[in-house]
Structure 1
């Protein structure tokens, strides 16, 4: 039983875990151990409300693995990430007690709304759909904005075309569970086009948001304050917000990290009292300057805990969304992030992170192997915290600056280079 379909699903999947089925049984081939009989103790499994209201993932930089796999192997009939792939992702989210997604949006991927079965699948699974910091009003500009047809993505010179473009998506999505991203940046991950001074950018964003809320009142709810909306202060948008934007109180402020796991800022005393609250956009995977980290899970779990614990302390509890790239190989860190979003009371101090890691690996590999694997992974994360393996080229900004010899010198300071190699070898 649940207060809604998600609550019922969480209950079912909780029982599934008690029977020995990992949330990662399909995505990571965690085969349940065959049992002759199962016994579930008579326990009170009444769940308290989750610590964070909307808990989910951003599928991103998916052209490396997720999209080719979906296109060629899992869903060739779609030739892209489509409803079958999203159904598998949505089940994983429910098994991790999540309820929210920013869909994949790079040039290789069709826009989420291009196939009506995608949003329908989200509704079937009870997953709330939003869109990233660069995709206002559930629009995927990379796939859906065609310059030959629409002209420039410039609100100053092409206002009516852009408003009509947004309005069509609002009409299309009106009956679905959604969180509408407000504001405007460039077509992809770039700054807004057309504004010159900071004052012009502030005025433009306030005008844009006012027009977006009018669209919501026209098609979703006469009272836009009752429609979930988010304003993500990513990159240059944080500067614009800090320059004096007057943001409606019911809009959720989403604070970003710096792309490397350190959250830029948190809500101040006045912002903590906003009716729309605040949330966090966090990275466990990143493709961009100055340096990428896509190929390994290299963020220390205690850093994830430290930053999200601060966010929770400063009442950022409305939305937690994490960039997980292709999902793999971030299984553990994603599980940690989602478990914290579900019940932060279980993570009152940093030692509970290591205990969580040991329990997680033990559930998958058995107590003996799980303990040794957790110890090995802890050392691996300690090494990555010193310097991510992807950053050993030691340049300031790739690919614009030359690489040079690292500070891990073989001939000074006790041969730190060899010590690092030895630790990795071990």
Structure 2
């Protein structure tokens, strides 16, 4: 079969050449679509119509069966379904939201298994003609073309790996909300994020083949369903609207509950009013595509009221679930199992679940990460067998302890990939929701997440697979040559932030009672380490400035949003704090720190002024005005700077000499991009060169990715020097302990063992994964002299 051929030339080729389908700037495109197609299908066609106009300068015209493109949905009696044949239709019918593209004769058939599948199939054409999903949200340039040909026999069938795939707009106070209601969609009603804004969000979701949305829910924003037009625009784009863990029954409790009228939001002691509150929304939404979050928590991300102990909470939640299900059956569908519902065991609710709370089998369980990208619970065999399935709620933006990261989206792609791939392999296939903050600047991470949800095996499970995905993304936006030069820059950008996020550079903490964390202070780094980090950031920042000279002027706004601002702003944030630390110790002047602060302000002003102010108020470099974001106070250090102990040897996880069991996997994770993932029961061995000065004993410090247990409640490895009995080490954390806080701030879990050296022969150190989820980042060897 001939593959897709893209020919960009000035010569017009006849439409019937080789019986192919030709898109050309010489003629309009004739399309046939049944009148009975759903609204979202027509919405997708309108989007493609606009894309086609931008690329070819021509229109899309409706025609009968002789059109070049025939569109249909299974069950709608379309020509596409009739002509593609029973074999194709039968296969497609097996997959929700799937589509087929096929060139047969001189016609292109687009057939969806349902309305969303058809919409995704239409927008696949936008991808094929070179339109980025970020054409509006990142001003991605749409290039003109003369001709693109789909060859006879071209065929593609795709369908999602995850049933519900979407995003959660959260902590919108400093970006999306002020940008929307004060700039893009001005409103006299403070805090409105209206239908014009949501239409843009939903358009992006369709382009990214997503179908689910949790609206912004902070009290600063008007609740989604209280704004006229929001419900209708969600229906227009075929979006399932759901709500977060503390917003049951599609009610934004935080913004909508009125204590003065309804009393306390307390199901136990105020059940009548709470039920009435939920019932109003369920009646209003009957007939729309919604996902109903079940259960109850406090008004805003707090414990439920009226039940103090876990047992009392369990009893209350059992009754809540019964009432909510009866309400759905009454107003939405008598067969309640046909309505999408989800239960989210988040924070204290997870404790109640572990005490035996029974959730109806058809309700999906949505598991959560620890807010810092490490999933707390993976489905076990019983949970995987549930009819309702499982899902994951995952963060690339967060407000809370030990520190917010609401400014730059720097979660390591390999961390996101490995966590979500493991979740999928353990059965989390029904729903994936990504907390994206304000969408910007998390564009790449959002697309990576949704690409995985669409086609889990579309990215090879390796470092090369992830690099290919990032390279492809950069190539689409900036061309292959620029992408090749930019790839190592972006890899370094994520590596450096993995060691310490820009938002964590002040050594401060949020919502912490200990006053020591209120003010900016030294990080535990030596002068040499600080200078090395400054040099590393300077190198990638300078490279971005250099590459910007190669970027065509029409792509510069996209370049600034996707590359230049995040890289340079992260570099300046590091300079600000690291020069500040050196200045506190009299090792440099304060002006270098101040200059970096001023650069961040300038870069942010440039961002908000892009495209004649289109993005005014979308970017805020100081969310919550935390101490870490301000100019560094000019104070003198009271204690000396750290002088680190130099190890005898240091290894990255990948530096093993041999392995036993399954070969370790690398994804580019770790302080030096050298971490390895070990399968349960597999081991790696490192050779330790010795000399006559070899100490009597060695202290082995192992740094691991701070994962949570994948199976059960243990996360262990064993470690042995030569033939000695292996020492077993468990490094799991519980709750929000001090150790967990240190782990997520540094992206390392640290464990030490001491081993006696019996002779001066070459030594071998073997580490074995006793449980799933063991990822070795670095190993440092220190001498211990016996006295």
TM-score scaled by structure 1?
A: 0.96
SS of the residue 1:320 aligns to: strand
Contact kept in structure 2, 1:305 and 1:350, CA below 8 Å: no
Residue 409, structure 1, aligned to residue 409, structure 2 = no
Give 1:147's aligned residue. Answer: 259
How do 1:118-137 residues align onto structure 2 when only pairs under 5 Å count? 118-137=230-249
Give 1:221's aligned residue. Answer: 333
How do 1:27-426 residues align onto structure 2 when only pairs under 5 Å count? 27-42=137-152, 44-77=154-187, 79=189, 80-351=192-463, 352-395=465-508, 397-398=510-511, 400-401=513-514, 402-403=516-517, 404-410=521-527, 415-426=528-539
Which has the higher relative contact order, 1 or 2, with Cα contacts under 8 A spaced 6 or more apart? Answer: 1
Pairwise CA distance, 1:13? 1.6
Tell me, in whole angstroms, the C-alpha distance in 1 between the residues paired with 2:489 and 2:178. Answer: 31
Tell me: CA distance 1:45–1:98, structure 2 relative to 1, closer, same or farther (3 Å): farther
Give 2:18's aligned residue. Answer: none
SS of the residue 1:89 aligns to: helix
Q: Please identify, of 91-100 and 363-372, the stretch whose mean Cα deviation from structure 2 is larger.
A: 363-372
Pairwise CA distance, 1:43? 5.8
Contact kept in structure 1, 2:367 and 2:376, CA below 8 Å: yes
Residue 2, structure 1, aligned to residue 112, structure 2 = yes
CA deviations 1:135-191 (Å, max 9, x no partner) are 000000121101101110111111000001101111111111111000000001111
Tell me, in whole angstroms, the C-alpha distance in 2 between the residues paired with 1:301 and 1:43. Answer: 36
Pairwise CA distance, 1:419? 1.2
Larger Cα-atom Rg: 2
Give 2:671's aligned residue. Answer: none
Contact kept in structure 1, 2:247 and 2:296, CA below 8 Å: yes
Contact kept in structure 2, 1:181 and 1:229, CA below 8 Å: yes
Tell me, in whole angstroms, the C-alpha distance in 1 between the residues paired with 2:362 and 2:182. Answer: 43
Pairwise CA distance, 1:396? 5.0
Tell me: CA distance 1:196–1:77, structure 2 relative to 1, closer, same or farther (3 Å): closer
SS of the residue 1:63 aligns to: helix
Tell me: CA distance 1:236–1:171, structure 2 relative to 1, closer, same or farther (3 Å): same
Contact kept in structure 2, 1:213 and 1:224, CA below 8 Å: yes
| Structure 1, gaps ≥5 residues long | none
SS of the residue 2:394 aligns to: strand
Tell me, in whole angstroms, the C-alpha distance in 2 between the residues paired with 1:123 and 1:170. Answer: 16
Tell me, in whole angstroms, the C-alpha distance in 2 between the residues paired with 1:47 and 1:167. Answer: 41
CA deviations 1:364-387 (Å, max 9, x no partner) are 000011122222111000011111
Tell me, in whole angstroms, the C-alpha distance in 1 between the residues paired with 2:172 and 2:153. Answer: 41
Contact kept in structure 1, 2:460 and 2:466, CA below 8 Å: no
RMSD: 1.4
Pairwise CA distance, 1:244? 1.1
Contact kept in structure 1, 2:392 and 2:433, CA below 8 Å: yes
Tell me: CA distance 1:320–1:44, structure 2 relative to 1, closer, same or farther (3 Å): farther
SS of the residue 1:131 aligns to: coil
Tell me, in whole angstroms, the C-alpha distance in 2 between the residues paired with 1:229 and 1:44. Answer: 39
SS of the residue 2:173 aligns to: coil
TM-score scaled by structure 2?
A: 0.53
| Structure 2, gaps ≥5 residues long | 1-110, 540-787
Tell me, in whole angstroms, the C-alpha distance in 2 between the residues paired with 1:184 and 1:81. Answer: 25
Pairwise CA distance, 1:399? 5.2
Pairwise CA distance, 1:309? 0.4
Contact kept in structure 1, 2:253 and 2:300, CA below 8 Å: yes
